[in-house]
Structure 1
Amino acid sequence: MWAITTILRDLKGVIVTLSDDGHLQCSYLGTDPSLFQAPKVDSREINYEEMNAEMKELQKIIREATKTQDILPESEKQRDVTVTAEVSPNLDEESQAIDSEVKAGAVPSVTVKITIQSRVTAQKPNLAVCVQAPLAVTCDQFVFDDLEPDSSETVVLSVFLKENCSPSELEGTCMVSYNIPTGIPRVSQCSFSLPLKLVCFPAPPAKAANHKLTIDTNKPPISLVTIFPDFVDSSEGDQANALGFQFLTGSKTTLLASKTSQRYRIQSDELEDLWLVTKELVHRLEEHFKKSNCKDFACTFSGSIPLQEYFELIDRHFELRLNAEKYQELLSERAVQFRAIERRLLTRFKDKTPAPLQHLDTLLEGTFREVSAV
Structure 2
Amino acid sequence: MSLFRAKTWWSTRVGTDEEFDTASLQVGFLETNADKANVVIGSLQGILRVLAPSGGDYTVEDLLVEQDLGEPILGLLLGRFVPAGEDLVGIAVLHPRKLAVYTLDASAGTPSLSLAYSHTFQTNSGSFTACNMTSGPFGGDPSRDHILVQSMDGRVACYEQDAHSFTRRLLNCLVPGPIVYVARTDSFVTATSTLCLESYRYQVLAGAQDDPSGPVDGGAADVPVASASSPGRRASVTQRKMVATDWSVCLGEQVIDIKIGKFTTPGATQVDVLAVGASCLFGVSESGDIKMQKKLDFDPAAMTLFDNPRGDTAHNMILTSFDDSMYIFRRQQMVWSAKLTSSPVAVFVADYEHRGMVTTLDDSGLLSVVYLGTDPAVSGAIVPEAKEIDYDDVDEEHRKLLGIIRASQSDARMEPRDKIIMRAQVPRVPEAPGALEDLDFHDHVLQKCVRQDNGMLQLTVKLFLAYTGSGSLSDVSVTLDVPECALVKEKAFSVSSLKGGTATPMIIDIVFYANAFVLPNSNEVSVQAMFLTGSGEPRASSCKFELPMFFSTRLIPPIKEPAFKFKLDTNKPPVMLATLFDDMVYVSGGEPEIENSSNYVLSFRYWVEDETQVPLNATILLSKNAGRYRVQSNYLPALWFVGNELCKRLKKYFEATGGSDFDMWYDEPHLPLQDFYNCIDEHFSARVRLNETKSLLNDCAQQFRTIEKRLLVRFKDRNAVPLQQLDVVMAETYHRLMGLADDVGNTQILLGTLSNNLSCVTSLVLILIKLKFKLDEESFRVLKAHLSPVVNDNEKVGWEEATDAAMTYLLRTVLAKKGGGEGGAVAALELQMPADTTKLKKHISIVADRLGKGAVLAGGEGGGGGGEEKGGE
TM-score tier, shorter chain, comes to 0.7 to 0.9
- In the TM superposition, what is the alpha-carbon distance from 1:126 to its structure 2 partner? 0.9
Which residue of the other structure, out of 128, 131, 139, is the alignment partner of 2:490? 139
Secondary structure of 2:428 counterpart: strand
Contact 1:102/1:248, CA 8 A, preserved across alignment: no
- 8 Å contact 1:243–1:256 — kept in the other structure? yes
Identify the residue that residue 306 of structure 1 maps to in structure 2: 672
CA distance in 2, matches of 1:319, 1:360: 37
Shift of 1:45: 8.4
Q: Highest relative contact order (Cα 8 Å, sep 6+), 1 or 2?
A: 1
Alignment of 1:109-258 (within 5 A): 109-120=458-469, 121-150=472-501, 151=503, 152-162=505-515, 164-232=517-585, 233=588, 234=590, 235-236=592-593, 237-240=595-598, 241-250=600-609, 251-258=616-623
1:164-212 deviation digits (Å, cap 9, x = unpaired): 2313211010011112222221111010101222222223433132211
Q: Tell whether the 8 Å contact from 1:128 to 1:174 is kept in structure 2 after alignment.
A: yes
* Amino acid in structure 2 at the alignment position of 1:46: I
Task: Measure how far apart 1:113 and its partner are.
Answer: 1.9
SS of the residue aligned with 1:247?
Answer: strand
| Residues 1-374 of structure 1 aligned to structure 2 (within 5 Å) | 30-33=351-354, 46-49=382-385, 68=408, 74-75=414-415, 78=417, 80-95=419-434, 98=441, 99-100=445-446, 102=448, 105-106=451-452, 108-120=457-469, 121-150=472-501, 151=503, 152-162=505-515, 164-232=517-585, 233=588, 234=590, 235-236=592-593, 237-240=595-598, 241-250=600-609, 251-303=616-668, 304-349=670-715, 353-374=719-740
- Three-state SS of the structure 2 residue aligned to 1:91 is coil
Counterpart amino acid of residue 270 in structure 1: Y
- 1:263 Cα deviation (Å)? 1.2
Q: 1:105 to 1:249 in 2, by over 3 A?
A: same
The 8 Å contact of residues 90 and 110 in structure 1, kept in 2 or not, is answered as: no
Q: Give the superposition deviation at 1:351.
A: 5.3
Q: Give SS of 2:539's match.
A: strand
- Name the structure 2 match of 1:15: none
Take 2:658 and 2:381, find their aligned partners in 1: how far apart are those partners? 79
- Distance in 1 (CA, whole Å) between partners of 2:457 and 2:637 is 21
Secondary structure of residue in 2 paired with 1:364: helix
Using the TM superposition, name which of 287-296 and 124-133 deviates more: 287-296
Total equivalences in the alignment: 341
Q: Post-superposition shift, 1:338? A: 2.5
Counterparts of 1:174 and 1:308, CA distance in 2:
38
| Paired residue secondary structure (1:88) | coil
SS at match of 1:253: strand
Mapped contact 2:459–2:513 kept (Cα < 8 A): yes
Structure 2: distance between partners of 1:40 and 1:282 = 76
The letter of the residue matching 1:113 is K
Change in 2 beyond 3 A, CA 1:118/1:348: same
Deviation at 1:348, TM superposition (A): 4.4
Find the aligned partners of 1:168 and 1:36 in 2 and give their Cα distance: 73
Percentage identity across paired residues of the two chains: 27
The alpha-carbon deviation at position 264 of structure 1 amounts to 1.2
- More helix by percentage: 1
Note if contact 2:450-2:514 (Cα within 8 Å) is conserved in structure 1: no
TM-score, normalized by length of structure 2?
0.35
TM-score by length of 1: 0.75
Which stretch of the first structure deviates more once superposed, 154-163 or 211-220? 154-163
> Distance between the aligned counterparts of 1:32 and 1:209, measured in 2?
103
- Cα distance between partner residues in 1 of 2:657 and 2:677: 40
Q: 1:47 to 1:279 in 2, by over 3 A?
A: same
CA contact (8 A) 1:202 1:231 kept: yes
Q: Which amino acid aligns with 2:506?
A: E
- Amino acid paired to 1:112: V
Residues 108 and 299 of structure 1, relative CA distance in 2, 3 Å threshold: farther
What is the CA distance between 1:355 and its match in structure 2? Answer: 4.0
Distance 1:271 1:308 in 2: 12
State the secondary structure of the residue aligned to 1:249. Answer: strand
What is the CA RMSD across the aligned residues, in angstroms? Answer: 4.1
Say if 1:115 and 1:153, in contact at 8 Å, map to a contact too.
Answer: yes
For residues 418 and 487 of structure 2, the distance between their equivalents in structure 1, rounded to whole angstroms, comes to 29
Point out where structure 1 has 5 or more consecutive residues left out of the alignment.
4-22, 51-55
The more displaced of 197-206 and 274-283 is: 197-206
Q: How many Å apart are 1:111 and its aligned residue?
A: 1.8
Q: How many Å apart are 1:307 and its aligned residue?
A: 1.6
- Aligned mates of 2:520, 2:465 — CA distance in 1: 28
Task: Write out per-residue CA displacement over residues 126-177 of structure 1, whole angstroms, 9 at most, x where no aligned residue.
Answer: 1111023354322111112353422443322222344723132110100111
TM-superposed CA distance for 1:48, in Å, is 1.2
Partner-residue secondary structure (3-state), 1:308: helix
